[in-house]
Amino acid sequence: MSHFLNVRTTLKVQTILTAGLKAMGFEVEAVTLTPGLSAKDLDRLAITYQNSFRQHQKAHVVARHAELRAKATAIGFRWDATEQVFVLQCDPYEIRNSDYGRQCGRVVGDAEGKPVVEALYCHMDDQNVLTVLQQQLQVEYDRALVYSTYNVHSETYVGTEIQFEATPKVTAVGISTAVQRV
């Protein structure tokens, strides 16, 4: 059955969230959030979106993917001003039964050793769909955060492995961490 579920995330920076979603192939629509907005202001700014069954939600970041079941289908992120994090709003049915859900899989061997793509989302219950989606989002969010923090452009490093070595540096104020490309 199709329905939206909410999952509290650890995602806190809207620009980084947007960059991570774009890296996953989503088209992103977002409102500008400023500190100190009231609950009424947050609700007024929210974007209304829906799943393919026309169930509506409101969010501050809305992500659409061509591979989801219908063009109008989206996942959303509502800003929780109390907890200072984004809440993922997603319909697991939409992910599980979409081309997006089928393309996110792993290659396994069949009985004869031939490679077969096993679609991960297709065989999951709602909670596992949300858990895996949240993990994928966290990875892309973290990657976008590193690129942003260290002024690294992903296009520059496509196809190469970058390893960073963190070394503590003592300053008059305290200890900071310097990151060097090795």
Give the pLDDT confidence of 113-141 residue by residue, as tens digits.
665 555 566 677 888 888 888 888 888 89
Kindly give, in sequence order, each residue whose CB lies less than 8 Å from that of residue 52, ignoring residues fewer than 6 positions away.
2, 68, 69, 70, 72, 73, 94
Cα–Cα distance, 23 to 87 (Å, whole number): 19
Q: Within the chain, how many helices (H) and strands (E) appear?
A: 5, 11
Res. 102: pLDDT tops 90: no
Looking at residue 147, what is its pLDDT?
85
pTM, two decimals, is 0.71
CA distances from 71 to 3, 17, 25 (A): 17, 21, 14
